[in-house]
Amino acid sequence: MKVAVLDIKGKDTGRKVELSDAIFGIEPNNHALYLDVKQYLANQRQGTHKAKERADIVGSTRKIKKQKGTGTARAGSIKSPIFRGGGRVFGPRPRNYGFKLNKNLKRLARKSALSIKVKEDNLIVLEDFNFETPKTKNFIEVLKALGVESKKSMFVLGESNNNVYLASRNLKRAKVVNSSNINTYNLSNANKLILSESVLEDVESNLSK
């Protein structure tokens, strides 16, 4: 399929690029998308939660009252979970929430996310650009020209666009990454995906392995 190339003013440059059907035109696999997004979110969790259980509580080990004759249930330790200040029953412990996925499934998930963007007409191919100085004002002008200033947008640009990255990093709705940092979560989370013309070849070569 062919897609028109726009400039930073949002106008058609008259050029078109060919998108690979094997990457941008597949039938999306929803389960692969789910697993890849789930893994990404799981890897963001620190897993450092910890509650003190009965063995971790510092306190006396004496028997706090006699066994019989009190009319209440027997109690052998002040560290029991039924008392205030006692240990927690089956409390959370530090753990790693991450899990493994094979490369082919993750590649399929990214292809599915890209194909969905094309089907929903939410993919824009932009000619290569850079800023002389990292000014947020310049980047906002690009967003307005493309009509994405009020939407979540993800720009996938070349390695040499450091000024563009610096100009965009304090905008909540805009995200600028290079081709090696594309992941399924960010692709799915963005309302509009903007690919630079020079990055298309890298994206297609990475996902066609």
Domains and CATH numbers, the chain: 2-45+98-207 (3.40.1370.10), 48-96 (no CATH)
Secondary structure (DSSP) of 47-105? -------GGG-----S--S-SSSSSS-----TTSTTSTT-PPTT------------HHH
- C-alpha–C-alpha distance, residues 128 and 130, integer Å: 7
Query: Region 59-72: what's the mean pLDDT?
Result: 91
Helix axes 103-119, 30-44, angle to 10 degrees: 110
pLDDT tens-place string over residues 95-152: 999 999 999 999 999 999 999 999 999 999 999 898 989 999 999 999 999 999 999 9
